[in-house]
């Protein structure tokens, strides 16, 4: 055991320590919230793709993302079904439709329509109602998040979609899209009948489930051969493509990078400034360390340890603040996704940030003249 | 001779001029000897002490300490191994207790663990501060702070102790007590002690008085 001058000196001035930690915490919170919101939005952008139990997606040519679908003949599904290695293939319609609300307003909804939702794990979180009832009439299931746009509703209520009165027979939870338009789930034929001009005889996707042991690339190649004017994606490719569209087309990614950069910059400036001021105030002590036989490395170790301590406490405080904000953010219908990998990355970033900030002080102490200890 | 300086010259640049502060000083101290280094303000005695303490390097001449010639490669090692300092302003670490101040100096000298703590407690006791060992410097009087500083210099068995105006910030009675204690401990452990001072009381504990005037040792 050695005397821990770094820690004792850091904690000796509690106010300065608090300011340093606050600087780091601010940067950490900003990064967590910005990246967490970004990941939350990205999560929404591909959440249905990741939940639907399809290994391959057949889309119309050059479809940019799952929300902005284009139609193609629904009969293509038969060509897919006949390919060896395909266990099941079904049509899926994803389409925006208007909903007339009781107050006279018109809102949008993103319709997912299939003949047999249950076989595709869709919807995956049904809070009320039965999917099998969808085929029995003018019914639909809607996500709970619709209440924000549509106002309060309950199972058993009616809403008008594209001019037809439909009954709400179920409610899902956490089914969202990047556009924040509420998701509704309809029977496939009902969706086509609501918008016959666009959808009659047409679908927007063919979902493909492979037979056990089937080779994905072989099946995909055969689908491409039989449907030369369509695209075929694996689930991961399609999810990535859908996310990338929003990142690239909206500047969301750039916005996140700029905010993260600014957050880190503010953190570095605050930490560098407080560490530097602290170093200047303790310059005589560092001179003493040198005079009694210490070298620059001894002083670097003190500053480095102080920076690391500030990073650890700052990270902890910042993480607590970010986690505390999650319910608030959830309350405004946004998701703050903080995976363990992000936490590890931000922690390492905080350490690097603080050590970088300490570098400025390193330069100062390297030039300390130990003779200053003799000055009165 | 545990410490010797030969023809030490030190020049500083002030603006465009070169100022010669030390003009060829020859000086030596034997083990167990106490030397008072006196001189008027600006005579160069603190600069000379800094060179003896391997904190500054001379412009010309050489310093040999405990058999090692001081140069840029050996300065830090000599300070760590062979020298103990006592400063006018005490220069204690305000966040460390009395005993920790001493122990930290030992840590810097690469003495760690229980051995360091035991040695720190031994010297703190030797300077009469056993009952104040866990006090922070802010809770100690000037005399007590200087005792801690002396304990720090003594810790690690450095053969040479260098003190810069150790009584300047102490009242007369306390200053005398500190000097006598310093002398007794240095003599008891056969250490060389060089004290830069204006204080005539230092003469009473010194074996020899050297006077620097205008950058040279007066006869």
Q: Is the same domain home to A71 and A219? A: yes
Average pLDDT over residues A69-87: 96
Q: Which residue segment(s) compose the domain that A278 sits in? A: 5-44+251-374
Do A355 and A215 share a structural domain?
no
Domain count across chain A:
2
The answer to whether A5 contacts B49, with C-beta atoms less than 8 Å apart, is: no
3-state SS class at A139: strand
Q: Inter-chain contact B112–A292, Cβ cutoff 8 Å?
A: no
Last residue of a domain, one of A213, A228, A243: A228
Choose the closest CB to B46 out of A2, A288, A374: A374
Q: Specify the pLDDT at position A247.
A: 85
- As a whole number, the mean pLDDT across chain A is 90
Q: Is the confidence at residue A251, as pLDDT, over 90?
A: no
Domains: count for chain B: 1
List C-alpha distances in Å: B199 to B90, B169, B195: 17, 11, 10
CA distance B113 to chain A (A): 5
Task: Specify whether A195 is located in the same domain as A291.
Answer: no
3-state SS, one letter per residue, for B9-32:
EEEEEECCEEEEEEEEEEEEECCC
Report d(CA B173, CA B99) in Å as an integer.
Answer: 24
For residue A275, is pLDDT > 80? Answer: no
Q: Looking at per-residue confidence, does A252 or B56 come out higher?
A: B56
Among A228, A260, A293, residue at a domain's last position: A228
Residue A355 has a pLDDT of 86
pLDDT tens digit at each of 219 positions of chain B:
899 999 999 998 888 888 889 999 999 999 999 999 998 888 888 889 999 999 888 999 999 999 999 998 898 899 999 999 888 888 999 999 999 999 999 999 889 888 999 999 999 998 888 999 999 999 999 889 988 999 999 898 889 999 988 888 778 888 888 888 888 888 888 999 999 988 888 888 899 999 999 889 885
In a domain, A343, yes or no: yes
pLDDT of residue A376: 58
Residues A17 and A142 in one domain: no
> Looking at residue B219, what is its pLDDT?
57
Together in a domain, A94 and A168 = yes
* Chain A residues in contact with B56 (beta carbon < 8 A): 371
Chain A interface with B: residues with Cβ < 8 Å: 1-3, 5, 8-9, 11-12, 284-285, 287-295, 298, 370-371, 373-374, 376
Tokens of B26: 């020859």
**Are A147 and A107 within one domain?**
yes
What whole-number distance in Å separates Cα of residue A57 and Cα of residue B180? 93
Of residues B79, B96, B114, nearest to A5 (C-beta): B96
Q: Which residues span the domain enclosing B183?
A: 3-217
Global ipTM: 0.88
Interface test mutation site (partner B, options A288, A296, A297, A366, max chain B beta carbons within 10 A): A288
pLDDT of residue A361: 81
CB A311 within 8 A of CB A19: no
Q: Are residues A315 and A287 in the same domain?
A: yes
Which residues on chain B are in Cβ contact (under 8 Å) with A370?
55
Residue A235 lies in a domain: no
Q: Do A371 and B113 touch (CB under 8 A)?
A: no
Which residues of chain B does A285 touch, with a Cβ-Cβ cutoff of 8 Å?
91, 93-94
Quickly tell me which residue has 């030969």 as its tokens: B6
pLDDT band at A249 (very low <50, low <70, confident <90, very high): confident
Output the CA–CA distances (angstroms, integers) from residue B18 to A197, B10, B13, in the order listed. 96, 10, 5
**CA distances for A140 relative to A39, A112, A171, angstroms:** 30, 10, 9
Contact B207, B33 (CB under 8 A): yes
- B172-210: per-residue pLDDT in tens? 888 888 888 888 888 888 999 999 988 888 888 899 999
Model pLDDT, residue A375: 65
For the cut 90, the answer to whether the pLDDT of residue A111 exceeds it is yes
Q: What average pLDDT score do residues A53-57 get?
A: 96
Judgement on whether residues A203 and A350 belong to the same structural domain of the protein: no
| CATH code where residue B166 lies | 3.40.50.300
Does residue A220 lie in a domain region?
A: yes
Cα separation values, A83 from A72, A204, A227, B111, Å: 19, 20, 12, 78
A241 in a structural domain: no
Phi, psi of A271 (to 5 degrees): -65, -45
Suggest the residue from B108, B109, B145, B167 to mutate for an interface test with chain A (most A CBs closer than 10 A).
B108
Q: Which two tokens stand for residue A6?
A: 């770094």
């Amino acid at each position: 055991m050695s005397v821990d001058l770094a820690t004792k000196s850091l904690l000796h001035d509690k106010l300065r320590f608090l300011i340093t930690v606050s600087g780091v915490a601010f940067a950490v919170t900003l990064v967590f919230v910005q990246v967490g919101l970004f990941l939350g939005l990205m999560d929404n952008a591909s959440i249905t793709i990741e939940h639907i139990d399809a290994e391959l997606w057949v889309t119309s040519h050059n479809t940019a993302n799952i929300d902005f679908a284009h139609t193609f003949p629904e009969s293509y599904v038969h060509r897919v079904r006949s390919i060896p290695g395909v266990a099941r293939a079904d049509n899926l319609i994803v389409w925006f439709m208007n909903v007339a609300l009781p107050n006279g307003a018109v809102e949008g909804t993103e319709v997912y329509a299939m003949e047999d939702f249950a076989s595709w794990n869709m919807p995956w979180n049904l809070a009320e109602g039965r999917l099998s009832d969808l085929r029995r009439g003018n019914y639909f299931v809607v996500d709970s998040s619709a209440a924000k746009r549509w106002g309060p509703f309950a199972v058993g209520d009616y809403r008008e979609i594209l001019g037809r009165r439909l009954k709400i027979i179920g409610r899902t939870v956490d089914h969202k899209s990047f556009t924040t338009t509420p998701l509704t789930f309809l029977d496939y034929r009902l969706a086509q009948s609501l918008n016959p001009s666009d959808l009659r005889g047409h679908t927007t996707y063919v979902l493909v489930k492979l037979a056990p042991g089937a080779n994905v690339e072989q099946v995909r190649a055969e689908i491409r051969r039989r449907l030369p004017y369509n695209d075929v994606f694996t689930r991961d490719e399609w999810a990535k493509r859908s996310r990338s569209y929003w990142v690239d087309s909206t500047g969301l990614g750039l916005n996140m990078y700029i905010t993260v950069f600014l957050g880190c910059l503010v953190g570095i400036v605050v930490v560098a400034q407080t560490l530097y001021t602290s170093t200047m105030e303790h310059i005589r002590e560092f001179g003493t360390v040198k005079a009694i036989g210490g070298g620059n490395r001894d002083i670097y170790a003190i500053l480095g340890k102080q920076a690391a301590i500030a990073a650890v406490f700052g990270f902890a405080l910042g993480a607590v603040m970010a986690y505390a904000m999650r319910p608030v953010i959830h309350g405004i219908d946004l998701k703050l996704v903080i995976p363990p990998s992000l936490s590890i990355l931000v922690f390492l970033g905080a350490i690097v940030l603080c050590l970088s900030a300490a570098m400025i002080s390193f330069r100062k102490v390297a030039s300390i003249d130990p003779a200053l200890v003799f000055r009165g | 001779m545990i410490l010797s300086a030969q023809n030490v010259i030190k020049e500083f640049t002030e603006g465009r001029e070169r100022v010669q502060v030390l003009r060829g000083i020859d000086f030596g101290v034997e083990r167990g000897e106490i030397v008072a280094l006196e001189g008027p303000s600006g005579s160069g005695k603190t600069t000379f002490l800094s060179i003896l303490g391997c904190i500054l390097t001379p412009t010309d001449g050489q310093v040999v300490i405990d058999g090692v010639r001081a140069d840029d490669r050996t300065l830090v090692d000599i300070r760590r191994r062979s020298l103990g300092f006592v400063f006018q302003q005490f220069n204690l670490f305000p966040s460390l207790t009395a005993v920790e101040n001493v122990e930290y100096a030992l840590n810097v000298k690469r003495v760690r663990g229980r051995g360091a703590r035991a040695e720190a407690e031994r010297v703190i006791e030797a300077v009469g501060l056993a009952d104040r060992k866990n006090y922070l410097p802010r809770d100690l009087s000037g005399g007590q702070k200087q005792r801690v500083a002396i304990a720090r210099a003594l810790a690690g068995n450095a053969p040479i102790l260098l003190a810069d105006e150790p009584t300047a910030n102490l009242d007369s009675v306390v200053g005398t007590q500190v000097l006598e204690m310093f002398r007794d401990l240095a003599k008891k452990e056969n250490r060389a002690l060089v004290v830069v001072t204006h204080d005539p009381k230092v003469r009473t504990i010194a074996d020899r008085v050297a006077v620097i005037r205008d950058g040279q040792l007066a006869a």
